């Protein structure tokens, strides 16, 4: 997943986060459009995240995209184990 986002220009940094992993997406190539239309652009990126994980056969219990947790940073969060 990190490789796919890197190829698209997101400058991802993968870290463990206790119950899962998260990718800090530091350079969204669509940042200006995402600021104007986050419900559209960020939904597409979440779909890309989930689709990539499905293709890799790595299905976490949850996959979230947290847009603009900082002005220049979004987080892709994956939790493994039970969803409940």
Q: Examine residue 79 and state whether it is found in any structural domain, yes or no.
A: no
Is the model's pLDDT at 27 over the cut of 90? yes
Share of the chain above pLDDT 70, in %: 95
pLDDT of 15: 86
- Whether 84 maps to a domain, the answer reads no
**How high is the pLDDT of residue 57?**
85
Which residue, 46, 51, 53, 49, is CA-closest to 67?
Answer: 46
Two structure tokens written together for 20: 């899962």
The count of structural domains within the chain is 1
Per-residue model confidence (pLDDT) at position 84: 46
User: With 80 as the cut, is the pLDDT of residue 29 above it?
Assistant: yes
In a domain, 7, yes or no: yes
- The parent domain of residue 70 ranges over 2-74
């Amino acid at each position: 997943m990190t490789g796919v986002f890197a190829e698209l220009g997101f400058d991802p940094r993968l870290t463990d986060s206790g119950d899962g992993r998260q990718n800090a997406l530091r350079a969204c190539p669509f940042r200006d459009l995402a600021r104007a239309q986050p419900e559209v652009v960020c939904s597409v990126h979440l779909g890309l995240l989930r689709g990539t994980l499905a293709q890799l056969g790595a299905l976490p219990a949850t996959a979230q995209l947290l847009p603009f947790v900082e002005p220049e940073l979004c987080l892709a969060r994956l939790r493994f184990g039970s969803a409940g």
